[in-house]
Amino acid sequence: MRPLELRPAAVRRSTSRRALLAGSVGNLVEWYEFGVYGCLATVIAANFFTPDASGAGGSGGAEALVATYASFALAFFFRPVGAVLFGRLGDRVGRRPTLIAVVCLMTLATATIGLLPTRAAIGSAAPWLLTLLRILQGLSAGGEFGGAVALMTEYAPVGRRGLHGAWQSFTVALGLLTGAGTAATLASTLPAEALHAWGWRIPFLLALPLGAVALWLRTALEEPPGAAPPRSTAAGPPVEAVQTVGARELSRAVVLGIGRIMGWSAAGYTFLVVLPSYLQTALGASLREALLATALANAGFAASILPAGALSDRIGRRPVMMCGALGVVVLALPLLHLLQSPGASPWARAGAVLLAGALVGLLAGPGPAMLAEMFPRKVRCTGLGLAYALANAVFSGCAGLVITALIARTGDTAVPAYYAAGACALSCPALLTLRGRDHREPLR
């Protein structure tokens, strides 16, 4: 095997753990914010996308919620730009400086949202400032995934690449769960007026201490073995030549990667982020009930990720991810009908959202390692980051906007199930192209 895989003396177990922690904690900060934004979408809509902060009810409230999700989607469409910008930096300069830059940008942008004046204070400038900060978050998030996954998988011991990559998804779950839990705690302890007036700012400001911990861990990090920045030689820059010659192959790999994770992207955001506002606007649930359901879905998601990643190291990425995709195709509509049923018990509904989250975890556990295995080291940050960013821009960033708009137009409350199941069905042919021994081969 290649030195990158064996690493008998180059990487001690403590160093591998440190890299795992440094890569993971930035993801937690990023997805904590996305969880907070999704859970407090109705409150944000009332403060930034309506002329007053009286609430997000009625037709005007529905329009404000669509505008809130449009801002959410716009940030996702800047992720591919961030993936290319920071991905090239990670491939050329190194993983460490890239990961430091993206966590600083994400932390500052998130904390600044907590300081923004609302529309009631400064008028129409408020939603534009919010959208600008969402764009900065999108840029940093686009660079975060590629750098973090490259770091984790390149440091992974032999036969544990799936488990190490799964920690990226696990900290996504922790971030979403922490965001949902923080929002639920505030909704439970603060009066509704206080939550709308100032309480919504607290979760965004909490990104500062989280980001400081991530920065401390990443500044103490070293470059992975074999991932030192390339140096020019008398024969010219070899990396540039490889990237130029392999541009078509890289493009094909990115497109295939998008196909393999589109179901993960769509189902993940449908069940884990869009759920709170959907339950409120479509099913009439209270904010507290909606946030509790979201916390349960994220708990199911978190519980299945690491076992799925470890299992994929034993039996391969394809069977585990296919099980998750087909599970969503078959069960999305029955689970949604169970949530809609007035006669369903609270325990049955809790089981439904837990199972929905767990199915997404079967996709998210092996997913990062699967993407890392598709690209050579010299373009790994750029390639896997771009595939992930484009899939999320189209199938995650638009999820709230598309689902909310279609429900408003058609009146069909089963739209979320159709959206998640349809994307997973389209993803299955791409997942079938995975080879049985990809997980056992050394990284290129």
Provide the token pair at 103: 């966590």
Supply the pLDDT for residue 13: 67
Distances (CA, A) of 103 to 100, 147, 205, 236, 413: 6, 11, 15, 33, 38
Q: Residue 51 is part of a domain; what is its CATH number? A: 1.20.1250.20
Whether residue 236 lies inside any domain: the answer is: no
Cα 352 from Cα 46, distance rounded (Å): 30
Q: How far apart are CA 125 and CA 64, in angstroms?
A: 15
What pLDDT is recorded for position 108?
A: 92
User: Is residue 321, in this structure, part of any structural domain at all?
Assistant: yes
What does the alpha-carbon distance between residue 28 and residue 321 come to, in Å, rounded to a whole number? 23
User: What DSSP character marks residue 156?
Assistant: P
* Degrees to nearest 5, angle at CA 342 with 338 and 344: 50
Tens digit of each residue's pLDDT, the chain (444 residues): 444 444 444 455 667 777 788 888 888 888 888 778 777 877 887 888 776 544 444 444 556 666 666 666 677 788 889 999 998 888 888 888 888 999 899 899 989 999 999 888 888 888 888 888 888 988 888 888 888 888 888 888 778 889 999 998 898 778 877 887 888 888 888 888 898 889 999 999 998 998 898 888 888 777 766 554 544 444 444 444 334 436 788 889 999 999 999 999 999 888 887 776 777 777 777 777 777 887 888 889 889 999 999 999 999 999 999 999 999 999 999 988 888 787 778 788 888 889 999 999 999 999 999 999 999 888 888 899 999 989 988 888 777 778 878 888 888 888 889 999 999 999 999 999 998 777 777 777
The Cβ of residue 323 has, within 10 Å, a number of other Cβ atoms equal to 14
The domain tally of the chain equals: 1
The residues with which 236 forms a beta bridge, in sequence order, are 233
Answer for the pair 208, 216: CB distance below 8 angstroms, yes or no: no
The conformation of residue 438, written as its DSSP 8-state character, comes to: G
Instruction: Classify residue 22: in a domain, yes or no.
Output: yes
> Do 409 and 276 touch, CB atoms closer than 8 A?
no
Question: Is 253 within a domain?
Answer: yes
The DSSP code for 376 is -
Distance between CA 290 and CA 279 in Å, rounded?
A: 6
Residue 381 near residue 321 (C-beta atoms within 8 A): no
Q: What is the DSSP letter of 274?
A: S
Dist CA 291 CA 279 (whole Å): 9
Rounded distance between C-alpha atoms, residue 343 and residue 126, angstroms: 43
Residue 167 to residue 60: CA distance in whole angstroms = 41
pLDDT of 226 reads 56
Q: What count of other Cβ atoms lies within 10 Å of the Cβ of residue 307?
A: 16
For residue 73, being part of any structural domain is answered with: yes
CA 403, 406, 412, 417 dihedral sign is negative
Q: Which two tokens stand for residue 327?
A: 């599970």
Whether 2 is covered by a domain: the verdict is: no
CB neighbours of 384 closer than 8 A, spacing ≥ 6?
Answer: 145, 146, 149, 150, 257, 368, 371, 372, 374, 375
- Give me the domain span that covers residue 181: 13-224+244-440
Quote the CA–CA distance of 92 and 94 in Å, as a whole number: 6
> Does some domain include residue 313?
yes
Answer whether residue 231 is part of any domain. Answer: no
Q: What is the pTM of this model?
A: 0.79
Angle between helix 79-92 and helix 380-395 axes, rounded to 10 deg: 170
What would the two tokens of residue 422 be?
């349809």
Cα separation, 431 vs 93, whole angstroms: 32
**Tokens 């079938």 sit on residue:** 432
